[in-house]
Every structure is written in C-alpha cells, then in structure tokens.
Amino acid sequence: MTTVSPYLMQSPQLHLNHDPAAAIGQEPALPFNPPLNIAVLVPPQSLRCHVIRPTLTYLGVADTRAENLLLGTLLAMAWLPADKQSGDGIGPYGISASVHTRLWDDYLATQPDLASLIRGLASQRCFLQDPHAELAYNLAYATAIAWMIYQQQAVCLAEASDTQALAHVWQLTYPHRGGLARDFISSWNMTHGD
C-alpha cells in the first residue's frame, strides 16, 4: 500500500486559485501578465550608476543629459499606460523587434565600428539565436540600443537642460503609441519623489 504525504494532499473544498474575485464567488479575471517593471525592482540611482552611465561611457558618451534621457526613457516606458506602450515592445525600454531590426539594418550596418562596439555588449551565442531576446535580459545591450534610437535621429541635447526638455525629446523621437511628455515627467517625479 502506498502512502501519500499529507503535504501533497489537497482538501476537496480547498481551491488553489489566487484570483481574489474567484475567492468571493465572482467570475475569475482573465490572466494578466504585465511586463517586468525594472523600475520597481531597482532604484533609479542604481540604474544610472550601474547600467546607464557605464554603458554610455563604453560608447564614448560622457553627458549627464544623456544619462537623464535614458533613465527617463526607462522610467517612462516602465510606467507608461498599457494603451500607450508598443504592443510588441521587448524589455525595460519597450523596444520592438521591428525597431531593433531597422536600427541594425539602416543605421548600424553603415557604421561597422559602432556596430562592433554594440555587438560587444551582446551574448556570444544567444545573440545569434535570438537577437531580440537581448533587449529583455541584457540591460547594457538594451541601454545601448535605446541610445542608438536617439543617436540615429541626431538628437541634440545641448538645449535639453531640464526634465521638461528631455520629456519633449522622448515624446518626439522615441517609439511608443501616443506617449506624452507629461508621462515622462510623471514617471520621473514618481520615482524621484518630486
């Protein structure tokens, strides 16, 4: 006779459902799997010091405004309402596979030294198997690609001295679906306590 551990047995009246609506007799909600929000997991200052600044330095960019633009971009994409996010955005910067491919085909392909530098941030094997996956799990690579989106458009940050100006740069040049400068500013203020 086989015995079953009491830890593996379920009571017939116990329903293992984590939907609170179902627990009180309502119809269960449809499953919702929002993207991982890095801004909730890592403080903005850590993202700046340990991901954004080193990546920009690696690319030869030493500019606090560029750091602020990328940090603001990451925060805005993390807190942007679902209807304004790119439906097929990948990773914390919400970069779609099509934007990623176009960036490589239309911009980096014409600049082999820069392309080699960016490729140096990617995994050796994984990049060849699924280059878009790098946008999801390789923060340095995703940060570099986000910067390339701005650089490809020749964004000039000389006049972007405050959050409002950076928010307008993001609104006009970064791929999203109707995000506004106020979305950028709101996410910045929410995470910086302003």
pTM, two decimal places: 0.78
Give 19's pLDDT tier (boundaries 50, 70, 90): very low
Distance CA 23, CA 174 (A): 42
φ/ψ (deg, to 5) at 28: -65, 145
DSSP string, 86-136: -TTEETTTTEEHHHHHHIIIIIGGG-HHHHHHHHTTS-HHHHHH-GGGHHH
At 112-144, the pLDDT tens digits run: 999 999 999 998 888 878 899 999 989 999 999
Count other Cβ atoms within 10 Å, centred on residue 180.
16
On whether the CB atoms of residues 72 and 163 are closer than 8 A, the answer is yes
Residue 188 has pLDDT above 50, yes or no: yes
Q: What is the mean pLDDT of the chain?
A: 80
DSSP, residue by residue, the chain? -----TTT---TT------HHHHTTSPPPPP--PPP-HHHHS-HHHHIIIIIHHHHHHTT---HHHHHHHHHHHHHHHHS-GGGS-TTEETTTTEEHHHHHHIIIIIGGG-HHHHHHHHTTS-HHHHHH-GGGHHHH-HHHHHHHHHHHHHHTT---TT--SHHHHHHHHHHHS--SS--HHHHHHHHHHHHT-
* Per-residue pLDDT tens digits for 90-104: 999 999 999 999 999
Phi-psi category of 39—alpha, beta or left, where left has phi over 0 and alpha has psi -120 to 50?
A: alpha
Confidence at residue 81, expressed as pLDDT on a 0 to 100 scale = 79
